[in-house]
């Protein structure tokens, strides 16, 4: 055999390792911890980024004022933000989640801002001609145009968050998939690392195909090509 | 059914930013209740702007728009048919109708669609309809809330002749049913002659009324009269080769 088994475990071996770690060790609590962090960071970043994106998309002078800051935010190395926050706030959940949010928000703001800028004035005119109340205008004209961009921001944002949460957990946390992978790395336990990675990927796929895509199909069913 | 209101339009000045000459200055137009008024004129003269001012879409002007002596912007909304169908693509056909008339029941909306020959399309999305069907939905939407004022902005533009005839019939029937006051903007004299009780022709900048024709006579004869006035006033502005209807 060219490669040693220990470094290149078979899929069956990885699957077995996943089962053992899941039933007898900390795989599930670690996954839960990482998902909780990612979920919290995701919702905070989406809420904050959507609100800021709408404001910057609608108010031209604010957009001009903050566009340079947004550029800085988009290009700020994620690891620097995490290290600085860990120094300032200690190795805490708040520091970790804040670091993820700070890395994610500029991306959401940019996507939502572009979405708001792309709103068709024709529909605004229609809303005026129909004299829609602000609430009905929001429901019938504003949100439907915004939703495809919110979904795009959610998808790109999630892929970013999955990655950086793990990196930040490696850097400093007391549990979670990233933390456990870093521990397994100390022992060159490639089977364990791949088992954790596989479990994590399964969760991501379940989220994508079980939640995000059906939601997208439902929300965008009015399009000629919804998916 | 209440007849359409009298419309009184006084535009002291309407100017677009960056344009040295106003579109309208010292412009006045009074329309009698339940009149179908067609506004004709070359492209860019301000016909659509006039409709947008009356509808309250553009309120950046000096002047007043009154319906039966009351500020038009405090009155119920007019029915508006844009040059394009302008349906909200994320709403179904019936959703588009009820967007204009939230109090309308589903049954009433279905009846309105049936009048347009769209009974089977209530739950379709706009992209699933042909261009002609989309126009009919737009028309149903404009009439959905029993608007007493109806604003039609080139409703026949870019439609083939068969569809234009369909639309004429539908609009004529709906106007006959509800007797609204109608402002129809067009650059086609035939449109005006077939539907209108009165035609005004705009020209110049700022725009002014250069012809004001009233037609207490049958539609076919109207067409000849409008064409003649139009060509005389604008020096052959009407489209070349346009067929004249029989006298």
In this prediction, residue B230 has a pLDDT band, given cuts at 50, 70 and 90, of low
Which chain A residues are closer than 8 Å to B50 by Cβ?
none
**Mean of per-residue pLDDT scores for chain B:** 84
Token pair for A88 = 């300032």
Q: What is the pLDDT of residues A173-226, one digit of tens each?
A: 888 999 999 999 998 899 999 999 999 899 989 988 998 899 889 888 888 765
Q: Is A150 in contact with A107 (CB distance < 8 Å)?
A: no
Q: Can you give the pLDDT at residue B247?
A: 38
B75 interfacial to chain A (CB closer than 8 Å) = no
Q: What is the mean pLDDT of residues A83-104?
A: 93
Q: Can you give the pLDDT at residue B215?
A: 79
Domains of chain A: 29-220 (1.10.3720.10)
Residue A7 has pLDDT above 80, yes or no: no
Q: Can you give the pLDDT at residue B179?
A: 84
Cα B224 to chain centroid distance, Å, stands at 21
Q: Can you give the pLDDT at residue B235?
A: 56
Q: Can you give the pLDDT at residue B221?
A: 52
Write out the H or E segment, with its range, that includes residue B226.
helix B219-234
Q: Can you give the pLDDT at residue A114?
A: 94
A75: Cα within 13 Å, side-chain hemisphere: 6
Q: Can you give the pLDDT at residue A225?
A: 66
**Does residue A101 have a cis peptide bond before it, meaning omega lies within 30 degrees of 0?**
no
How long is chain A? 227
Instruction: Name the residue of chain B whose CA is nearest to A226's CA.
Output: B90
Alpha helical stretches, state H, B24-125: 47-55, 93-100, 106-115
What percentage of residues in chain A have a pLDDT greater than 70? 96
Alpha helical stretches, state H, chain A: 11-24, 27-58, 60-75, 78-89, 93-117, 121-129, 134-137, 143-171, 177-186, 190-207, 213-219
Q: Which of A125, A136, A222 has its CB closest to that of B57?
A: A125
Q: Can you give the pLDDT at residue B219?
A: 52
Closest CA to A45 of A198, A137, A128, A159: A159
Of the two residues A115 and B187, the one the predictor is more confident about is A115
Q: Is B86–A126 a contact, with Cβ atoms under 8 angstroms apart?
A: yes
Q: Can you give the pLDDT at residue B202?
A: 93
- Helix, strand or coil for residue B86? coil
Q: What is the pLDDT of residues B149-183, one digit of tens each?
A: 999 998 888 777 777 888 888 888 788 778 889 99
Q: d(Cα A147, Cα B215) in Å, to the nearest integer?
A: 51
Q: d(Cα A145, Cα A199) in Å, to the nearest integer?
A: 36
Cα–Cα distances in angstroms (integers) from residue A210 to residues A60, A98, A160, A213, B49, in the given order: 39, 28, 19, 7, 50
B143 interfacial to chain A (CB closer than 8 Å) = no
Q: Can you give the pLDDT at residue B224?
A: 56
Q: Is A141–B88 a contact, with Cβ atoms under 8 angstroms apart?
A: yes
In this prediction, residue B237 has a pLDDT band, given cuts at 50, 70 and 90, of very low
B245 interfacial to chain A (CB closer than 8 Å) = no
B86 interfacial to chain A (CB closer than 8 Å) = yes
Q: What is the mean pLDDT of residues A128-140?
A: 93
Token pair for B232 = 């005389």
Q: Is A125–B77 a contact, with Cβ atoms under 8 angstroms apart?
A: no
In this prediction, residue B223 has a pLDDT band, given cuts at 50, 70 and 90, of low
Task: Looking at the complex, report in whole angstroms how far the Cα of residue B33 sits from the nearest Cα belonging to chain A.
Answer: 21
Owner of token pair 């060509």 = B231
Q: Looking at the whole model, is its pTM more than 0.90?
A: no
Q: Is the dihedral of CA B178, B183, B188, B193 positive or negative?
A: positive
Q: What is the mean pLDDT of residues B125-129?
A: 93
């Amino acid at each position: 055999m060219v490669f040693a088994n220990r470094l290149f475990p078979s899929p069956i071996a990885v699957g077995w390792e996943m089962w053992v770690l899941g039933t007898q060790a900390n795989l599930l609590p670690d996954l839960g911890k990482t998902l909780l962090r990612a979920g919290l960071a995701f919702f905070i970043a989406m809420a904050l980024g959507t609100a800021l994106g709408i404001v910057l998309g609608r108010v031209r002078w604010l957009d001009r004022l903050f566009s340079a800051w947004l550029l800085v935010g988009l290009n700020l190395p994620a690891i620097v933000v995490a290290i600085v926050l860990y120094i300032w706030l200690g190795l805490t959940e708040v520091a970790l989640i804040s670091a993820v949010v700070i890395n994610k928000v500029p991306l959401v703001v940019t996507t939502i801002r572009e979405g708001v800028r792309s709103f068709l004035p024709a529909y605004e005119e229609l809303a005026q001609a129909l004299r829609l109340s602000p609430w009905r205008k929001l429901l019938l004209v504003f949100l439907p145009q915004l939703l495809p961009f919110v979904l795009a921001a959610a998808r790109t944002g999630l892929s970013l968050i999955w990655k950086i949460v793990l990196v930040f957990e490696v850097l400093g946390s007391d549990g979670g998939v990233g933390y456990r992978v870093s521990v397994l790395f100390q022992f060159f336990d490639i089977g364990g690392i791949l088992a954790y990675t596989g479990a994590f990927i399964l969760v991501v796929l379940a989220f994508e195909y079980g939640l995000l895509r059906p939601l997208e199909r439902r929300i965008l069913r009015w399009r000629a090509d919804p998916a | 059914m209440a007849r359409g209101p009298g419309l009184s339009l006084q535009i002291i000045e309407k100017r677009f930013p960056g344009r040295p000459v106003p579109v309208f200055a010292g412009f006045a137009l009074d329309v009698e209740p339940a009149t179908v008024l067609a506004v004709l004129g070359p492209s860019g003269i301000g016909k659509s702007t006039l409709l947008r001012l009356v509808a309250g879409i553009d309120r950046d002007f000096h002047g007043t728009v009154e319906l039966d002596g009351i500020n038009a912007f405090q009155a119920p909304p007019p029915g508006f048919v844009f040059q394009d169908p302008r349906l909200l693509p994320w709403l179904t056909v019936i959703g588009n109708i009820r967007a204009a008339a939230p109090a309308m029941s589903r049954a009433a909306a279905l009846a309105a669609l049936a009048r347009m020959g769209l009974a089977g399309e209530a739950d379709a999305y706009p992209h699933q309809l042909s261009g002609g069907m989309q126009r009919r939905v737009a028309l149903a939407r404009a009439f959905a809330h029993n608007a007493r004022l109806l604003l039609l902005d080139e409703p026949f533009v870019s439609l083939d002749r068969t569809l234009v005839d369909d639309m004429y019939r539908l609009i004529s029937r709906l106007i006959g049913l509800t007797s609204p006051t109608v402002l129809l903007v067009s650059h086609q004299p035939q449109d005006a002659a077939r539907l209108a009780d009165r035609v005004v022709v705009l020209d110049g900048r700022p725009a002014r009324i250069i012809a004001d024709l009233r037609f207490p006579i049958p539609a076919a004869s109207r067409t000849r009269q409008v064409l003649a006035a139009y060509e005389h006033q604008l020096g052959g502005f009407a489209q070349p080769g346009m067929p004249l209807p029989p006298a």
